[in-house]
């Protein structure tokens, strides 16, 4: 194992470039499988003889599994630890991915996609708790945004690799290649992530239930969960069914063409770290209000006919969603000081319930009203998210004063 980064005076890890890269890799390998099928949905729909709603659920079943298991993973991690669970979960993602090389029906695909989702919270939920315990101040915010950046990159790479691999090989064989990538990822995470210093196990069920009750009554977590529901609803609904829209006439995109569309995700790799610099200065509420409004404008822009305009609209929406996610996760990290893993689990439960609802609802909307019906559904949900942030997220409190000057980045609405 490599030497751990040196601690600061409070025995918290100092931020280093290798550590930031490792945390980003955790995000990459958590999400590289979650949305990988989106760029090959038209191929899967044809080969497996699936309906629009069924093939949409190839994404929806994964996020549903994440939603269902996230709170329980939070409790498990609070009792048993952080790093080992992250590593085992990245490895576990490879198992159903390998089995997809043998799938013969849409129902078999949905089962395996559900099993993939069961492994994801062991990374996504626990990573945020790990960061919140082992780092403080600006380092914590930068690592959260680094993790989100990695998750953005992982989401892009999954779609991009599957789309282009399917141009040169059968999609079942492509899933075999994705399995190998996940196994390498598990090894890299195990080698690079330093051990916990501040984790305190809580193995008492009564304590966990009491913590659950407190968190469910926490207004900050309630608003974060409601906002998270709308965020992933929009992202999954948009980036699932735009593939069917672009694969149909007059565009007739191939899997490789659809994979290239997801290059807009790379903007998130740039935008999200920048958001990490802005959020401590202006606060989460103002960040979220601006980001949700921008992403809604992007959704509306996808109604345009030219391909370049659709791609630009997707890029705008993606950037707005990524910034909203960073601000919301930083808000939770600052507002919740105990039961962090359980809090992350509850947040991700609501967040991924939104993803499942987006996959199913937008599948119905696409069946009934085509792409315009899907856009109308997405805009309605984003308007709801904006209202939730405007009405219920707290604004910034006055900053503490030291030597007659405000302390930078001290807004309490983070």
- CATH number, domain of 286, equals 1.20.1250.20
d(CA 359, CA 349): 15
| Count of Cβ atoms closer than 10 Å to residue 121 Cβ | 31
The enclosing H or E element of 401 equals strand 401-402
Segments forming the whole domain that contains residue 368: 17-195+214-394
Any domain includes 202: no
Compute φ and ψ for 399, nearest 5 degrees.
Answer: -75, 145
Q: Mean of the pLDDT values across residues 136-149?
A: 80
Q: Is the pLDDT of residue 261 over 70?
A: yes
pLDDT confidence of residue 397: 53
Listed in sequence order, the DSSP H helices in 249-339 are: 255-261, 266-282, 284-301, 307-335
Q: Mean of the pLDDT values across residues 382-395?
A: 90
Percent of the chain with pLDDT over 70: 88
Any domain includes 277: yes
* Residue in this structure with the two tokens 């789309």, named with its chain if needed: 163
Highest mean pLDDT (candidates 22-36, 197-211, 331-345): 22-36
Q: What is the DSSP string of 337-393?
A: -SSHHHHHHHHHHHHHHHHHHHHHHHHHHHHHHHHHHHHHHHHHHHHHHHHHHHHHS
Cβ neighbours of residue 11 closer than 8 Å, sequence gap 6 or more: 197, 198
Q: Which pLDDT band, with edges at 50, 70 and 90, does 5 fall under?
A: low
Query: How many structural domains comprise the chain?
Result: 1
Any domain includes 12: no
d(CA 362, CA 379): 11
Q: Is the pLDDT of residue 413 over 70?
A: no
pLDDT confidence of residue 239: 92
* CA-wise closest residue to 158 among 19, 55, 276, 62: 62
pLDDT confidence of residue 198: 65
pLDDT confidence of residue 295: 93
Any domain includes 404: no
Any domain includes 360: yes
Distance in Å from the first CA to the final CA of the chain: 35
Any domain includes 402: no
In Å, what is the CA distance from 265 to each residue of 235, 316, 353?
A: 11, 10, 22
Averaged pLDDT of the chain: 85
The model's pLDDT over 154-204, given as tens digits with 9 standing for 90+, comes to 988 999 999 999 999 999 999 999 999 999 988 888 888 887 766 666 666
In Å, what is the CA distance from 273 to each residue of 148, 170, 319, 321, 344?
A: 9, 36, 11, 14, 20
Any domain includes 186: yes
Q: Which pLDDT band, with edges at 50, 70 and 90, does 396 fall under?
A: low
Cβ neighbours of residue 43 closer than 8 Å, sequence gap 6 or more: 166, 171, 255
pLDDT confidence of residue 100: 96
Cβ neighbours of residue 177 closer than 8 Å, sequence gap 6 or more: 161, 165, 169
> Is the CA virtual torsion 267, 270, 276, 282 positive or negative?
negative
Q: Is the pLDDT of residue 394 over 90?
A: no
d(CA 142, CA 220): 21
* CA-wise closest residue to 369 among 236, 230, 237: 237
């Amino acid at each position: 194992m490599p030497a751990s980064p040196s601690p600061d005076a409070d025995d918290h890890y100092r931020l280093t470039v290798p550590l930031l890269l490792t945390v980003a890799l955790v995000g990459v390998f958590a999400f590289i499988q979650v949305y990988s099928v989106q760029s090959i949905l038209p191929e899967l729909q044809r080969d497996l003889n699936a309906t629009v709603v069924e093939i949409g659920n190839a994404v929806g079943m994964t996020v549903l599994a994440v939603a269902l298991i996230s709170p329980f993973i939070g409790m498990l991690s609070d009792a048993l630890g952080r790093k080992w669970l992250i590593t085992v979960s990245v490895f576990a993602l490879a198992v159903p991915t390998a089995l997809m090389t043998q799938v013969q029906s849409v129902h078999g695909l949905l089962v395996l996609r559900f099993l993939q989702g069961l492994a994801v919270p062991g990374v996504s939920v626990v990573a945020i708790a790990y960061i919140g315990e082992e780092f403080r101040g600006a380092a914590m915010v930068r690592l959260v945004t680094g993790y989100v950046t990695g998750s953005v990159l992982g989401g892009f790479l999954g779609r991009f690799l599957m789309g282009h691999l399917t141009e040169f090989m059968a999609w079942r064989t492509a899933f075999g290649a994705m399995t190998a990538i996940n196994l390498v990822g598990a090894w890299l995470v195990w080698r690079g992530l330093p051990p916990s210093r501040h984790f305190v196990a809580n193995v008492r069920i009564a304590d966990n239930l009491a913590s659950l009750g407190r968190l469910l009554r926490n207004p900050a977590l309630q608003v974060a969960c409601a906002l998270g529901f709308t965020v992933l609803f929009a992202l999954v609904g948009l980036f699932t069914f735009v593939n069917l829209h672009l694969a149909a006439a007059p565009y007739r995109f191939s899997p490789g063409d659809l994979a290239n569309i997801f290059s807009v995700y790379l903007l998130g790799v740039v935008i999200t770290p920048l958001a990490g610099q802005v959020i401590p200065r202006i606060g989460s509420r103002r960040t979220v209000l601006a980001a949700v409004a921008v992403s809604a404008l992007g959704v509306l822009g996808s109604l345009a006919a030219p391909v370049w305009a659709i791609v630009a609209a997707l890029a705008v929406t993606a950037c707005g969603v990524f910034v909203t996610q960073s601000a919301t996760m930083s808000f939770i990290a600052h507002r919740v000081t105990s039961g962090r893993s359980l809090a992350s689990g509850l947040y991700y439960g609501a967040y991924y319930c939104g993803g499942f609802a987006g996959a199913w609802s937008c599948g119905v909307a696409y069946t009934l009203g085509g792409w315009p019906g899907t856009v109308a559904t997405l805009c309605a949900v984003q308007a709801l998210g904006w209202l939730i942030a405007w009405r219920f997220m707290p604004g910034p409190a006055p900053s503490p004063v030291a030597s007659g000057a405000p302390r930078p980045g001290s807004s309490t609405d983070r």
